[in-house]
Amino acid sequence: MTAPIEYVIRRLSEYDGPPLRLMEVCGTQTAEISHNGIRNLLSTAIQMISGPGCPVCVTVSAYIDRLIELSGQEGTTVVSFGDLFRVPGSRESLSEAKAAGGRAEMVYAPAQILDMARKQPEKQFVFAAVGFETTAPVYAGIIKKAKKEGLKNLRFLTSLKTMPAAIRWICAHEPDIQGFLAPGHVCAVTGTKDYEEIAREYGIPFVVSGFSPEELITAIYGLVCLRGRGQTRNFYPAVVRPEGNPEARAVMHEVFEPCGAAWRGIGRIEGSGLRIRAAFREFDAGSDGLEEDIRKNSQCRCAQVLLGEISPGDCPLFGKVCTPATPQGACMVSAEGSCFHYYSGNEGGSR
Amino acid sequence: MKITMAHGSGGWETSQLIENLFARYFSNPILDRMEDSAVVEGGARIAFTTDSFVVHPLFFPGGDIGRLAVCGTVNDLLMSGSRPAYLSCAMILQEGLKIETLENIVRSMAETAREAGVLIAAGDTKVVEGPGELYINTSGIGYMPEGRNIGASLCRPGDRILVSGCLGDHHAAIMSARMGIENEIRSDAAPLNRMVNGLFEAGVGVRAMRDITRGGLATILEEYAHACRYGMEIRQKDIPVSVQTRGFCEILGLDPLYMGNEGKMLLVVKEEDASQALEILRGSPYGEGAAMIGEVTTRHQGRAYVKTDIGGERLLSPLYGEGLPRIC
């Protein structure tokens, strides 16, 4: 870890060992790898593939359809982060529904919704709460606050997911992956124990990585050095403690309980989601059972992209029917989606 | 006092508003004639442009909709190489707008027009229903000096790429105001006439200029690369972004390369004139943060790309959609 970054880059560019397919799990890591042009610093024997760690990308169509339905209900406004607006549901996106008269507003920070609800008590708000263990404690805090204040006009349509079960699923179903960059922000909440177990069980190394280009490069080098060994290393110790953040987990578990969850392209994975507990049920806008995943375009191969089975450029729609201006699947919409990054950075794509 | 539908009737209230407000602040010999059209001096070649301003909120740190309405059109005229001379000002007011608010905006427009050296020579006012805000359209005329010829297609390998200051401040200031976030970020809204005049007066070999508004630097560089069919290379480490705006962008997942500015320009100049151009930019009002950020190359022809700090390379793409922030 103390090796000068130039040395690490040289080792990675000169690597000529057995081919390695390494998965970065987190969408922010995908974005930073692309943003900093890290792929073209690596030997051709090292392939980085993007995992299912972009919350927008793994959201199923039934969830989008339900948001659209709510946005059309008299007196109800759907509130969401920007990315979700353009994700295609089974028929249309929230953005299209809004243009057709649906009520939907964009926020940048979840805390804004409390203000909206307080200031406009005559309106009903539904917040689209998607995310992983990183954002779930934030939502939990907001729900607790809303309950304490007795807010009656704020509900949540949740699609919250937890990483370990999904990564376990990938390890079991995708044998050709030789290492994982563990998601740094998620581990800051959950700690590293889950990943140590998965690493041992499947004999695949995990390195917890930060998000700066130097941290990512160093973590990739860590995986190359650990190849073939079921070990876990924490290369992000300034932020990630082995035990994670127990306080954040406590708030999260007070409001949410584990449940099965549907992942776009994977289907239902037991124990990979969070839902609002009965004690807070009045804040749930009908999140249960949203599992159906109908692709707007039947040729869309987001599913295989998410699992690292194919590169975005291998999808027949990529760069042709499916572009950031006309996304057919979520991976082309999100700023963390691998198709978006392949297209905009032209990494292996054709334009 | 507030704007009512009567202020847009074309009758007495309308003329009162014009006399007491618009004519008072915008007064000049051409406008004061109050005819159906302004008649202005002609020229061999004129530049002509229009822009509409719908920003919310109307006032934000560093500016207001009035200052924007002047700067936007003046800067568009400047970027074509012309000398801005006249603007029109069409106001669409919403019922309920406070006259005091309108006056503050009109005063700001008048001050900015004076700073930019243009006359507001024609105008119109309409009143519509709404929550008491306003929209402004300005059109502008500029004169093209003899023999001046600039454009993206004229860029050649070796030419240097400069920007006139820090990127993203306007976009970040507006977003902060909308989100109720208090910080030090101020809009950069400014007319760039003195900076541009300085370049031409010194005889700098300007290939192309563009004000870096919506879509940001990346979108413009992509267009330039496409137009000249060469590569546009910029270096990540040299792209100027203020500490505050950089922090704001990191939190919200925004990229300053895609953010709008209202007082910044991209400049491509001949290699031999680059250091002189940089000196002129830095010595001009609103140009203290100017930087040389890259050059035109024969690599990646038709594309713009960034040399990243870590030694990687990233191709740029135009802005898609609304420039959405990431989610976690």
Are A132 and A256 within one domain? yes
In a domain, A265, yes or no: yes
Instruction: Cis check for the bond before A19: say yes or no (omega within 30 of 0).
Output: no
At residue A350, the pLDDT reads 35
Nearest CA in chain A to B325: A82
Three-state SS letters, B293-324: EEEEECCCCCCEEEECCCCCEEECCCCCCCCC
C-alpha span between B304 and B43 (Å, rounded): 37
Same domain, A223 and A253: no
Answer yes or no: is B322 within a domain: no
Per-residue pLDDT, A2: 52
Are the Cβ atoms of A108 and B317 closer than 8 angstroms? no
What is the predicted pLDDT for the residue at B321? Answer: 62
Same domain membership, residue B205 and residue B177: yes
Which of A32, A42, A108 to probe the B interface (max B CBs under 10 A)?
A: A108
pLDDT at B324 over 60: no
CA distance A190 to B324: 28
* CATH code, domain carrying A139: 3.40.50.11740
Give a yes or no: residue A99 inside a domain.
yes
Q: Which pLDDT band, with edges at 50, 70 and 90, does B5 fall under? A: confident
ipTM higher than 0.85? no
Same-domain status, A156 and A81: yes
d(CA A139, CA A128): 10
- Is residue A28 domain-resident? yes
Contacts of A97 (CB under 8 A, 6+ apart): A68, A71, A72, A104
CB contact under 8 A, B328 and A325: no
| One domain for residues A12 and A87 | no
Query: Which of A28, A37, A115 faces B328 most closely, judged by CB atoms?
Result: A28
Regarding whether B99 and B32 lie in a shared domain, the answer is yes
Q: Which of A106, A112, A135 sits opposite B328 (nearest CB)?
A: A135
Facing residue for B321 by CB, picked from A34, A36, A324: A324
Query: Position of tokens 């963390």?
Result: A336
Q: State whether B130 and B201 are in the same domain.
A: no
Residues B130, B158 share a domain: no
Minimal CA separation from B242 to chain A, in Å: 19
Q: Are residues A151 and A192 in the same domain?
A: no
Which chain B residues are within 8 Å of A120, Cβ to Cβ? none
Which of the residues in chain A have pLDDT under 70?
Answer: 1-3, 335, 345-351
Nearest CB to B310; choose among A108, A185, A214: A214
A152 with A168, same domain?
no
One domain for residues B245 and B138: no
Give the pLDDT score at A125: 97
Asked whether residue B110 falls in the same domain as residue B24, the answer is yes
Task: Tell me the nearest-neighbour CA distance from A82 into chain B, angstroms.
Answer: 5
Which tens digit of pLDDT belongs to each residue from B244-284? 999 999 888 788 999 999 999 999 999 999 999 999 999 99
Does one domain contain both B190 and B306?
yes
Residue A253 lies in a domain: yes
Tell the burial category of B189 from Cβ atoms under 10 Å away from its Cβ (0-12, 13-18, 19+). Answer: buried
Q: Are residues B307 and B174 in the same domain?
A: yes
Q: Which residues contact B170 (CB under 8 A, 6 or more apart)?
A: B62, B63, B187, B188, B189, B259, B260, B261, B262, B263
| B 292-311 residues with CB < 8 A to A | 303, 306, 308-311
Question: Is the Cβ pair B315, A344 closer than 8 Å?
Answer: yes
Residue B227, in any domain of the structure:
yes
Residue A186: the pLDDT is 93
Number of folded domains in chain B? 2
CB count within 10 Å of CB A119 equals 8
Here the CATH number for the domain that contains residue B194 is 3.90.650.10
Residues B168 and B284 in one domain: yes
**pLDDT score for A84:** 87
* Residues B72 and B158 placed together within one structural domain of the fold: no
* Among A27, A35, A185, beta carbon nearest to B314: A35
How would you write chain B as a 3-class SS string? CECCHHHHCCCHHHHHHHHHHHHHHHCCCCHHHCCCCCCCCCCCCEEEEEEEECCCCCEECCEEHHHHHHHHHHHHHHHCCCEEEEEEEEEEEECCCEHHHHHHHHHHHHHHHHHHCCEEEEEEEEEECCCCCEEEEEEEEEECCCCCCCCHHHCCCCCEEEECCCCCHHHHHHHHHHHCCCCCCCCCCCCCHHHHHHHHHCCCCEEEEEECCCCHHHHHHHHHHHHHCCEEEEEHHHCCCCHHHHHHHHHHCCCHHHCCCCCCEEEEECHHHHHHHHHHHHHCCCCCCCEEEEEEECCCCCCEEEECCCCCEEECCCCCCCCCCCCC
Across A262-271, A284-293, B37-46, B119-128, least confident range: B37-46
In a domain, B321, yes or no: no
Q: Using CB atoms, pick whichever of A41, A82, A131 lies closest to residue B328.
A: A131
Chain A: closest CA distance from residue B180 (Å): 9
Residues A110 and A177 both lie in one domain:
no
Q: Which of B129, B44, B48 is nearest to B87 (CA)?
A: B48
Give CA torsion, residues B215, B221, B227, B233, to 10 deg.
Answer: -160
Residues of B in contact with A9 (CB under 8 A): 310-311
Asked if A213 lies within 8 A of B326 by C-beta distance, the reply is no
Per residue in B160-178, pLDDT tens?
999 999 999 999 999 888 8
Q: Has residue A116 been placed in a domain?
A: yes
> Is B322's Cβ below 8 Å from some Cβ in A?
yes
Taking the CA of residue B323 and the nearest CA in chain A, the distance in Å comes to: 9
* CB proximity B57 to A under 8 Å: no
Q: Are residues B125 and B99 in the same domain?
A: yes
Within this chain, do residues A77 and A109 fall inside the same structural domain, yes or no? yes
Kindly state whether residues A248 and A99 are assigned to the same domain: yes
The shortest C-alpha distance from A38 to chain B (Å) reads: 6
Within this chain, do residues A157 and A183 fall inside the same structural domain, yes or no? no
Confidence of residue B327 (pLDDT cuts 50, 70, 90): very low
Task: Say whether pLDDT at B9 is over 80.
Answer: no
The pLDDT value recorded for residue A99 is 87
Q: Residue A302 falls within a domain, yes or no?
A: no
In a domain, B325, yes or no: no
pLDDT at B323: 53
With pLDDT > 70 as the criterion, what percentage of chain B qualifies? 97
From B143, B161, B187, the end of a domain falls on B143
Same domain, A155 and A258: yes
Name the average pLDDT for chain B: 92
**Shared-domain flag, residues B163 and B121:** no
Domain that holds residue A83: 61-162+244-283
Question: CB distance A213–B309 less than 8 Å?
Answer: yes
Domain with A220 in it: what CATH number? Answer: 3.40.50.11750
Same-domain status, A183 and A261: no
CATH number, domain with residue B83 = 3.30.1330.10
User: CB distance B324–A344 less than 8 Å?
Assistant: no
Nearest Cα residue in chain B from A26: B328
Range of the domain at B271: 152-315
Residue finishing a domain among B118, B143, B168: B143
Interface contact A130-B327, CB threshold 8 A = yes
What is the count of structural domains for chain A? 3
B226 touches chain A (CB under 8 A): no
Q: Which of B117, B143, B169 is the last residue of a domain?
A: B143
Interface A–B counts its CB contacts (< 8 A) at 100
Residue B320 domain-assigned (yes or no):
no
Residues of A in contact with B322 (CB under 8 A): 82
With beta carbons under 8 A apart, name residues in chain B contacting A55: 327-328
In a domain, B253, yes or no: yes
Least CB-CB distance to B320: which of A109, A324, A336? A324
Question: What is the average pLDDT across B46-70?
Answer: 94
Domain assignment of residue A146, yes or no: yes
Query: Is A303 a member of any domain?
Result: no
